[in-house]
Every structure is written in C-alpha cells, then in structure tokens.
Amino acid sequence: MATPPAPGIYVPVPTFFVSKKAATYDPIAAPVDIDTQVAHSLYLARAGIKGLVILGSTGEAIHLTNKERFEVLSGVRQAFEKEGFTDYPIIAGTATQNIEETVEQLKGAKEAGAQYGLCLVPGYFAGASTQEGVIRWFTAVADKSPIPIMIYHYPGVSNNVKVVPSTFVTLAKHPNIVGCKLSHGDVSYHAQIASSPSIDHSSFATFSGLGQQLLPVISIGAVGAIDGCAGFFPKTVVRLFELSLKNQPTDEEVQKRRLLQYKVSTMEEIIVKFGTVGIKEAVSRLRGFGDRDGTRLPLHGGIPGDDAEWAKWKEIVDAMEEEENSL
C-alpha cells in the first residue's frame, strides 16, 4: 500500500498571478506568477512547514487551465530541487467532478513532480448524492490515479455534501487512498475517522483543514493540519503542533499551547470570514508576496473595506507577529 504524507503542518498555498503593474497583466485572467509562487513556497519550507497543497481551494484550482496547473506545480518542484529540498512533499489539488478529467489532472500532477493528489468530494448533484456514489467515484479515481490520493471533504464548496465516517472507513481500505483533509468544524466526525479502530491509521492519515482546532484534533488521532493561517504565520502554527504532540506536557507547556491555540483560532477568523481573499491579503500585507487583490474572476478585489477592515485585526495580528518573531 502507498504511504500517506508525513505528520505535520501543511499549507494550502494561494496561486499567485502577475501584478496589475506588469505588462502581461490581463484583467480577465492574469497570467500565473511562478517567481512569486516559488518565493512563497521556499519561504514556507524554510520556516518548518512539512509540505504544500498546491491548487487546492485556496489555490483557486477551478480558475486554472491544465497547462497553468503544470506550470505552477513543475515550477515549484524544480525550485525545491534546486534549493536542496529534495522530495519535499507536494500535494496537488483537484476540483473537477468528471472522473477522467480528475485522473488526467492527477497524471499531469505526477509528471510535474507532485507526490500526492487531494481530490475534492464532487457536489454538483448534491440533492441526488449518496454515500455509495461517493465511494464509487473515489474508488474509480484511485484505481486510475498514478499517485496516491486523499479525500478532500469541504462541504462549504461541495454544495454541502457530507461524507459520513463509515464511508471513510470503506475508502481507507483502498491501497491508493492514503488520507483525508477535513475542512469543517465537526470535531465528532474528526474523532470518528481519526480514532476509528476500523481504519489502519498507518496507511490512512487524517488531517484537519482548520488550525482553529489543531490542539483538540491531535488528541483524537489527527496527524496534523493543512492550514491557511500557516501560510503567513508558519512558525507559530508549527510550534502549536509540536506542543500538541506532547503526551506529558509541563504546566508551562499546557498554558503555552492553550494560549497559542487561542491566538491561532482568533487569527483564523479572517479566513473564516473572507476565505481565499483573506489569505491572499494577509500573505501580501504580512509577508510581501503577491498583490492583496490578486485573484481571478469571479473573485474580485481584496478584503472589503481594505485598510479600515484590516485595522480591525491589528490586535491579533500584532500578537501573532510577536509570537512568530520569537521563534
């Protein structure tokens, strides 16, 4: 059976597009900015992030052509190899609902240098969706995929299709399905999957998609998080993960990890409220990568309210920045 991604903190990175000031800028579909993509990816790898999800929801996968997908994935892979990050984990997202197209994207991802695929649960026909249909869809994709895949369960972008724990138990038995990302706040579902005695957790890893619940989900068997906040506060989220792993923490460590969880949970509210737009704004303002409103249509502009809205987050941003700089 295939091996799942190693435990740790992964980042669902945004896809960067060329600046409005560039000669190649197109207001309908700005070209991808590989240089900025590479710079941000290397920044995260050097900060202790275990691996990257490229072309997930944050990466606006549905806004890119297959040619652009290849350019982004291969550009980052080549940069990692050049800078000494040999075999650094890249998980390529897919958001298509046609099985053959999904497999084609997974084949392209392998060719570009990705080791895993993260496949979004199909949700167009939510009213007619069944657990058996979900099982058969993922089984068909996994049977044909040249790289191991993970189940991406994000009801918020899958028309509220919910995959029940028993479906994960069934799919976890497939030799080419190696884990899941659970991007929802149902901690009970996390427990029923990450702690299930019916799943071989050495071959199926459960990741939360929300750093907001990192500390509690680690205690029930999750192996890490694929977390947007770590895209601009990587060291802080990694430190929270490390403290969450301690089985016999000191009183000081208990207090520290609770405080870190509070800070991360509070900071993540900007992502809950603004999604990809909020992540891009934070990455740009705090780390200097890309434009604050560098998305593709139908996403348009940065955080509504711009400077006035960002000012509302100053207290928690400053607290997180102080934490980040201390690590």
Summarised one tens digit per residue, pLDDT across range 14-32 is 999 998 888 888 988 999 9
pLDDT of 308-317, one tens digit each? 999 999 999 9
Select which of 67, 173, 181, 280 is catalytic.
181
Confidence of residue 305 (pLDDT cuts 50, 70, 90): confident
Give the residue among 70, 130, 62, 69 at the shortest CA–CA distance from 97. 62
Give the residue among 319, 327, 209 at the shortest CA–CA distance from 267. 319
Residues, the chain: 327
Instruction: Let me know: does 145 contact 111? Beta carbons within 8 Å.
Output: no
Confidence of residue 284 (pLDDT cuts 50, 70, 90): very high
Q: Express as a percent the part of the chain with pLDDT over 70.
A: 100
pLDDT of 228-277, one tens digit each? 999 999 999 999 999 999 999 999 999 999 999 999 999 999 999 999 99
- Residue 23: the pLDDT is 87
- Residue 289: the pLDDT is 97
> What sign does the dihedral 157-160-165-167 (CA atoms) show?
negative
Helix (H) or strand (E) holding 72: helix 66-82
Checking if the pLDDT of 286 tops 80, the result is yes
Helix (H) or strand (E) holding 319: helix 314-325
Q: How is residue 161 written in tokens? A: 């299709």
Q: How is residue 197 written in tokens? A: 């005695």
Distant-in-sequence, close-in-space partners of 180: CB < 8 Å, separation ≥ 6: 150, 151, 152, 153, 168, 193, 204, 205, 206, 207
Residue type, 232: F
Helix and strand counts by DSSP (H, E) for the chain: 12, 8
Residue type, 322: E
Checking if the pLDDT of 148 tops 80, the result is yes
Determine the Cα–Cα distance for residues 116 and 150; give it in Å rounded to an integer: 7
Checking if the pLDDT of 293 tops 90, the result is no
Interhelix angle 34-46/269-287, nearest 10 degrees:
100
- Residue 55: the pLDDT is 98
- Residue 306: the pLDDT is 74
**What's the predicted TM-score (pTM) here?**
0.97
Determine the Cα–Cα distance for residues 291 and 17; give it in Å rounded to an integer: 8
Say if residue 321 is exposed, middle or buried (CB neighbours under 10 Å; 0-12, 13-18, 19+). middle
Checking if the pLDDT of 322 tops 80, the result is yes
Q: How is residue 263 written in tokens? A: 């800070």
Domains of the chain in start order, with CATH, are 8-325 (3.20.20.70)
- Residue 1: the pLDDT is 75
Confidence of residue 144 (pLDDT cuts 50, 70, 90): very high
Determine the Cα–Cα distance for residues 170 and 139; give it in Å rounded to an integer: 10
Instruction: Let me know: does 165 contact 153? Beta carbons within 8 Å.
Output: no
Confidence of residue 156 (pLDDT cuts 50, 70, 90): very high
- Residue 189: the pLDDT is 97
Q: Is 256 a catalytic residue?
A: no
Classify residue 87 by its DSSP letter.
T
pLDDT of 62-111, one tens digit each? 999 999 999 999 999 999 999 999 999 999 999 999 999 999 999 999 99
Confidence of residue 34 (pLDDT cuts 50, 70, 90): very high
User: How high is the mean pLDDT of the chain?
Assistant: 96
